[in-house]
Structure 1
Amino acid sequence: MKLLLTSSGITNKSIHNALVELMGKPVGEANALFVPTGVYPFEYGQRYAWNPIAGQAAPYMCQLGWKSIGILELSVLPSIDKSKWLPSLAEADALLVWGGDPLFLSYWLQASGLAEVLSDLPNLVYVGVSAGSITVASLFAETYSAERCCAGTPLKTEEIIFSLDNRETTATLITASGIGLTTFAVIPHFNNKNHFAGSLTNTQKWAAKLPVPVYAIDDESAIKVNDGTVEVISEGEWKLFTP
């Protein structure tokens, strides 16, 4: 399985080049499928699902100049015969998995039947964005500042104290099972001021709750996995935490 796990998508030339290398062809000769499912639990989630499709959300994942691109909506797949959607997946060079709630996304990746067929598609490049990168791990964690009420079963829920603007705040840390494509976990939006858990101090506390290696990557970084070989592609900042 080939993976390109990003914080915010194809944000720079280095990450773009890594995508082309993994696919073995230019974007203009490649077919892609876009998965918006993970963003639906958010308020205005329907709008956030449309924005990247319409090119209103940077980076322009769907506007990279693909030969063809389609939508793969996970929540409808259980009601459709696999023979109707598997051919499109088999012909795809890249699966673009958008962000959102990783617990919700992990649930639908498994409930849709998609996770179980990914290993049969060794040439497909899984391109994760934020939650799309988090959920590929065998075990992951995510922080929540408000109560969640969506599909997906946590393994553990605990309160964690984070630092925010020189004061302490309490967040909920949920640990859950992902789809098992990697033995390491990912924390996206490292040192991004718009994500309260992304500071170095808070990321250290988050990573310490997981008994696996954890890569914290910023919006200019990505993790490339090719036949089990892991490489960090970065024009920004990243950090590896070991248990």
Structure 2
Amino acid sequence: MKLLLTDSGIKNASIQDVLVDLLGKPIAESSAWMRESGLAELLPSLPDMVYVGLSAGSVVMTPRVGEEFVGWKPPAGGDRALGVVDVSIFPHLDHPACPDNTMAAAERWAARITGPAYAIDEQTAIKVAGGAVEVVSEGHWKLF
């Protein structure tokens, strides 16, 4: 078993490099693995399961990642994610460690995403239960 235990996820290049080393492949390739292994198809059949996603772990559950967040593309190309939920997520809105994740950048990203899309900061979560989407926030966010 390999573990990467962090306070707040992948917050800098050093931690990201360690994660890539542990995975033995690019991070984005993990969503392809989830499809190929059958896990993506299995998840919706587990109604009592609670999944907590952090950063990319949240984004991978959406229909599309957005070209801005794709560092590796599957052989078929594109920015398709697992599509377990019907909304897309722009994470780390206005976070000091992510200077490119501004509201203006989120607006450009959302213009290219099909379907509902949320820009969320570190104080915001999106709850999805029974098909209903609810934003829980003590920070700032925007629905596009």
Aligned to 1:193: 96
Counterpart contact for 2:40–2:84, Cα < 8 Å: no
For the pair 1:118 / 2:43, whether they are aligned, the reply is: yes
Aligned to 1:106: 31
Structure 1: gaps spanning 5 or more residues: 1-7, 10-41, 50-72, 76-99, 156-175
The alpha-carbon distance between structure 1 residues 189 and 227, as it changes in their structure 2 partners (threshold 3 A), is same
Aligned to 2:77: 154
Q: Normalising to structure 1: TM-score of the pair?
A: 0.48
Q: Larger strand proportion, structure 1 or 2?
A: 1
Q: Which of 44, 49, 53 is residue 18 of structure 2 equivalent to? A: 44
Counterpart contact for 2:89–2:120, Cα < 8 Å: yes
Rg larger in structure: 1
C-alpha separation in 2, matches of 1:46 and 1:148 = 12
For the pair 1:213 / 2:116, whether they are aligned, the reply is: yes
Structure 2: gaps spanning 5 or more residues: 1-7, 10-15
Identity of aligned residues (%): 36
Q: Normalising to structure 2: TM-score of the pair?
A: 0.77
1:59-78 to structure 2, matched below 5 A, reads none
Q: State the secondary structure of the residue aligned to 1:216.
A: strand
- Segments of 4+ moved more than 3 angstroms: 147-153
Q: CA deviation at 1:182?
A: 1.6
The alpha-carbon distance between structure 1 residues 215 and 183, as it changes in their structure 2 partners (threshold 3 A), is same
C-alpha separation in 2, matches of 1:142 and 1:195 = 16
Counterpart contact for 1:105–1:132, Cα < 8 Å: no
Q: State the secondary structure of the residue aligned to 2:107.
A: helix
Aligned length: 131
C-alpha separation in 2, matches of 1:235 and 1:212 = 25
Aligned to 2:128: 225
